[in-house]
Structure 1
Amino acid sequence: MENSKVWFITGASKGIGLLLAKKLLAQGQKVAATSRSEAGLIKAIGNASENFIPLEMDLVDEKSVKNAIDKTISHFKTIDVLVNNAGYGLLGTLEELTDAESRKNYDVNVFGLLNVIRNTMPFMRANRSGHIFNISSIGGYNGGFPGWGIYCSTKFAVAGLTESLAAEVKSFGINVTLVYPGYFRTDFLTDSSLQLPANAIADYKEVRDSENAHKNNIDGNQPGDPEKLADALINMSKEENPALHLFLGQDAYDMANLKIESVQADLEKWKSVSVSTGF
């Protein structure tokens, strides 16, 4: 295929990553798909082929990440598009989540993503081309959700480092897109992707209500179509000047505007205080 690209996708054994990998392969693209289980990838997608390699990779182990990327380069000779999709949700208050629970979320959602970028960039930089998609969340732009503080903070971190990354690699001809999805109908809210605190505090009624709502009402009824999200990423990869900030879902679009309006209101209301601090 003349316009075939090599895609490296993390978290590809389920959800958005799996749908994206399958769509790309059906279109004749080349895919290196990673997950914690190579067997799970083979079961979900198929055996290795000229256009596909399943890779067992531990995001938080940089040697494992480097090994997966080296295997991809050996097989495909390059990486054109990187999709940092792997991550998991954590629903618990700042008080009740332990240091270990919080750090684990950062290890996967932030430092794991950095491991992949750090080991992919030398090849994209040498090629003077490439496109990096970092999957954040609308919770990485609007954090006003009780019980989601640690998770949101990991996704705010992804947003901040992605904006900086875009500025760092622009001169190399590498595009960067920060993706803010809303609620999409995947398995993100199931037990395999959403973790709860080991020691919940009953006093936090709003958070316990949020847990129940996400488990019993929102899961399976999310408004976003994951097939269309995958299509949006593929289409964006073809743009000459792709979006830096890409909000996906009507809910994400609406929540982003609410945050913008709130910040704008505070800016204007407290402008006299803001500008009063100079010499």
Structure 2
Amino acid sequence: MGSEESSQLVWLITGTSSSFGRELVDIALARGDQVIATARSVKRLGDLPKTPSVRLMELDVTAGSDVIKRKINEAVTWFGRIDVLVNNAGIAARAIAEEGGSQIFMENAKINVLGALDVTNAVLPQMRARKSGTIVMIGSRSSWKSEVETLAYYSSTKAALRVFGETLAYELDQFSIRVLIVEPAAFRTWSPNFLTPSITPVKISDYNPLRDGSEKKVAVIHGRQPGDPRKAMELVVDVVRGEGKAKALLEKYGWPLYLPIGKEAEDAIREKTQQIGHVLDVWGDLIRDTRLDEEAT
């Protein structure tokens, strides 16, 4: 973003009624930036600071691309541009995979993936026109290693969000638009609803021990997550703005694309890459021995 890294930025943040989104609003304002804070209901944003630097927008990320484009086009007029989009709105509808089926999967995908896609596409035209901008995807450590067994759908959609972000980064590089894939570990951001498993049409008794164990695990984790959401989002803002703790690393190594946050995220990613590396080492000869035979000459 060139010289904009040290100047006032305009942020549009989805899902600002709680957790990471709420922290980002406060931190961006403290850095002197302007914020368009969104939520499904602006009534839930009533306690945000009353300042000209904040505008509130009711935005349901599942409303469809046409509705979202109209909303975003209006939002752009408020501060004249959007420099940073943070796709933070998310849901963790939990269920045993065989019990939940495609219904529960889509509950997650509509917000975690399709919603992020529609909001991103609505913001991109004005970023492309200026050849400047940053798209932040709030993913999850769970896409590398699920915290509890009933998070298959949530984990899958967060993995899809990461791959979408990777491809998007490649496509947008020509316009000097950056993508940052943030993958937090266990932070104290869960809402009480996260403790409640989704209602599924059937309960398969074979899964009772696994389901019961999962609920106990969630109950133990809730309220004891080691991560501080404020520190996590301070780091995100440091990276986006090119300052603070991130400044020296950005100057030395450049833009990171990936930003795992929390030791548990680091551990999960290292474990997964080691597992994949082991498979490549053991099965490498067979993996490579799959090309078409040379045609007889």
Paired residues for 1:1-279 under 5 Å: 3-41=7-45, 43-47=46-50, 49-61=51-63, 62-143=65-146, 146-188=149-191, 190-191=192-193, 195-198=197-200, 199-204=202-207, 205-214=209-218, 216-239=219-242, 241-279=254-292
Residue 24 of structure 1 deviates from its aligned partner by 1.3
Instruction: Give the CA deviation at 1:147.
Output: 2.1
What is the identity, as a one-letter code, of the residue corresponding to 2:154? Y
For structure 1, which segment, 259-268 or 67-76, has the greater mean C-alpha deviation from structure 2 after superposition? Answer: 67-76
2:287 is paired with a residue whose SS is helix
Give yes or no for contact 2:104–2:198 (8 Å, CA) kept in 1: no
Q: How far apart are residue 83 of structure 1 and its match? A: 0.4
Number of aligned pairs?
A: 275
Tell me, in whole angstroms, the C-alpha distance in 2 between the residues paired with 1:101 and 1:237: 34
Could you list the per-position Cα deviations for residues 88-134 of structure 1 after superposition, in whole angstroms to 9, with x for gaps in the alignment? Answer: 11221210004322212111111000010110000110010011110
Cα pair 2:93 2:194 within 8 Å, conserved: no
Q: What is the letter of the counterpart of residue 96 of structure 1? A: E
What is the Cα-based RMSD across aligned positions, in Å? 1.9
Q: 2:247 aligns to what?
A: none
The 3-state SS of whatever aligns with 2:36 is strand
Amino acid at match of 1:52: V
Contact 1:89 1:194 in 2 (8 A): no
Identity %: 32
DSSP 3-state at the match of 1:18: helix
- The answer (yes or no) to whether the contact 1:96–1:197 under 8 Å persists in 2 is no
In structure 2, stretches of 5+ residues that fail to align are 243-249, 293-297
Kept after mapping to 1: 8 A contact 2:134/2:177: yes
Residues 227, 262 of structure 2: 8 Å contact kept? yes
With over 3 angstroms needed to count, the CA separation of the structure-2 counterparts of 1:164 and 1:193, relative to structure 1, is farther
Contact 1:88 / 1:194 at 8 angstroms: preserved in 2?
Answer: no
CA distance in 2, matches of 1:58, 1:88: 13
Q: Encode CA deviations 1:153-197: one digit per residue, 9 max, x unaligned.
A: 101110111000000000101111111111101134x21686524
How big is each residue's C-alpha offset from its partner over 1:32-79, in whole Å with a ceiling of 9 and x where there is no partner? Answer: 0110011111x23144x4211011111011333223312221110100
- Per the TM alignment, residue 237 of structure 1 is displaced from its structure 2 partner at its CA by 0.3
Identify which range, 127-136 or 22-31, moves more after superposition.
22-31
**Bigger shift: residues 100-109 or 28-37:** 100-109
Question: Relative to total residues, which structure has the larger helix share, 1 or 2?
Answer: 2
Distance across 2 between alignment mates of 1:133 and 1:195:
28
Deviations 1:227-250 (A, max 9, x none): 101101100102363211111000
| 1:79/1:194 CA distance change after superposition, 3 Å | farther
- Counterpart code for 1:50: P
Q: Which has the larger radius of gyration?
A: 2
Distance 1:223 1:146, change over 3 A: same
Mark the CA change 1:238 to 1:164 in structure 2 (over 3 Å): closer, same or farther: same
Contact 1:91–1:211, Cα closer than 8 Å, also in 2: no
Kept in 2: contact 1:21–1:31 (CA 8 A): yes
Question: Within 2, Cα distance between the matches of 1:258 and 1:85?
Answer: 26
Separation in 2 of the partners of 1:21 and 1:193?
26
Using structure 1 for the length normalisation, give the TM-score: 0.92
Is the CA contact (8 Å cut-off) linking 1:131 and 1:175 kept in structure 2?
yes
